[in-house]
Chain A
Amino acid sequence: MAEELKIVTTLDLKGLVCPIPIVKVNQAIKNVQVGEAIEAFATDPGVLGDIPAWSKTTGNELVKMERVDKNFRFVIRRLK
């Protein structure tokens, strides 16, 4: 990616299950500027499918989804 990704918020979603992770992500993305990004750590395997689906529907960019130790880490950039 050419431009620097600015992660302004880090969410702790560990231990939370469907549908709360997307509720929290949805709230967090509203509090950052367009172009900025949020990262989150979750333990619910449901996020593997849910976060890409949420990003696609809301028109935001899922920059990264990875495993960090026992958690899932993902980065979403606000596009609109």
Chain B
Amino acid sequence: MAENNGTTIIVMSGDMDRVMAAFNIAIGAASMGKETNMFFTFWGLKAIQKGNFTGKSFFGRMMGFMNRGGINRIGPSQFNFWGIGRWMFKQMMKNHKITPLEELRKTALELGVKLMPCQMSMEVMEIKAEDLIPGVEESCGVATMLERADRSKQTLFI
């Protein structure tokens, strides 16, 4: 693997369409032989959560309830209409034989894409390491992300 030829993607969004784009790019980059890292921060964490209720404090639990994670629970950034849009998009994706999000994530892991959760976001939103899917890296901070970005030719913020 060539040095300084990686791809780093910062996933801030927890919207289905954006997360899908992020995984698509990551899988493409990994298939092109690049060291690929995805850094999940804030709403993006939902894409690597198991989907159980999270939080400890009152606000934390409220957050965990209203902003429940899980890659099959996230809706599109537009036309979601309280879940109807999500259902419609999934139906349309199925009709056009587009790979579902969960499978994209699985493929990314198989290709060696590093899924890195942001420690600070986990702290704020009271998401614990065991709330995340198996296969993700240790939670990390901005320095780790920047170090990866340094080794990358492309750094994308989604």
Contacts and interface: CB of A to CB of B under 8 A. Distances in A.
A-B complex is real: yes
Interface of A: 15-20, 22-23, 25-26, 54, 57-58
A58 B98 contact: no
Contacts of B96: 17
A19 B21 CA distance: 10
B83 interface: no
B97 A15 contact: yes
Contacts, number: 31
B135 interface: no
B111 interface: yes
B32 A58 contact: yes
Contacts of A58: 32-33
B32 A54 contact: yes
A26 B107 CA distance: 13
Interface stretch (B10-18, B23-31, B84-92, B139-147): B23-31
